[in-house]
Structure 1
């Protein structure tokens, strides 16, 4: 009998390693994030859920390729990201945004403190961004 292939060699079975397993882990992580939202995420979700902005349906903590978007409206191709201080000048966020823009999404970044202190202004900004897509 021939020896087993070295690590990294040989064929993979369906669902073993590779992109399928990574995607499944990402979906599981997104689900756990939906079950334990931050206070800012909870507040914004109360404003966006159940098509409260006319016909714009939002989903939260959505895997898109190898990223998780906080809130997504697929019909308007709009991603709304809530950011805390850890996101200031983040090179990861810059690369992530560039990738998502290349996929046809627009990104609206909102500071956590803004949704907590001025929810009406945030809702106005989301509304304006949604209607930019219609123009």
Structure 2
């Protein structure tokens, strides 16, 4: 049986609307596309924008990733693609209210590259480092001119930091790690 003798069945036609008029196939006669049933922001309660996200530094971190300094760009070429001790580093990583220049999350190591402005902001940097260390991170810092002039030495220092075990943290004052448990007699 050849295809030319086959009787073609008519294609199914859409059902006419309730008014009885046939539906046309012009684009303006189609119903508007369905939107997603949930609101775009605010979850399923319709609360509006999620304010807790506005305070997170992710937008600023993205801007910093797009506009690195020369020293950051050069160090990133050395740290990216697991080139240092097989450890993955990320750039401009939000950690609490701060943004770390480079972070190895698996090793809890932060690498900071400081320019001249950090010389004037020593107290801020000290408080920042203290916060990061209380969160379990190790922080090492390099000056821009060290990265630009001695990249091999900087990478070697990072490798040594990765090889060294992290220093033990003091136990928390209360909770599961406290020295005294509820089962200890008075």
TM range (shorter): 0.7 to 0.9
Q: Is residue 2:151 matched to residue 1:119?
A: yes
> Normalising by the residue count of structure 1, what TM-score does the alignment of the two structures yield?
0.83
For the residue of structure 2 that corresponds to 1:50, the secondary structure is coil
The 1-side partners of 2:162 and 2:48 are apart by: 39
For the residue of structure 2 that corresponds to 1:114, the secondary structure is helix
Q: Is residue 2:55 matched to residue 1:22?
A: yes
Structure 2 gaps of 5+ residues are 1-46, 168-186
Structure 1 gaps of 5+ residues are 1-12
The 1-side partners of 2:88 and 2:49 are apart by: 31
User: Which position in structure 1 is the counterpart of 2:162?
Assistant: 130
Query: Quick check: which one's strand share is greater?
Result: 1
Query: Quick check: which one's helix share is greater?
Result: 1
The 2-side partners of 1:50 and 1:16 are apart by: 34
Stretches (4+) displaced over 6 A: none
Report the RMSD for the aligned CA atoms in angstroms.
Answer: 1.6
Cα distance, 1:21 vs. partner?
Answer: 1.5
Higher Rg of the two aligned structures: 2
User: Which position in structure 2 is the counterpart of 1:58?
Assistant: 89
Contact 2:81 2:88 survives alignment (8 Å) = yes
Q: Is residue 2:34 matched to residue 1:34?
A: no
Contact 1:70 1:81 survives alignment (8 Å) = yes
Equivalenced residues, count? 120
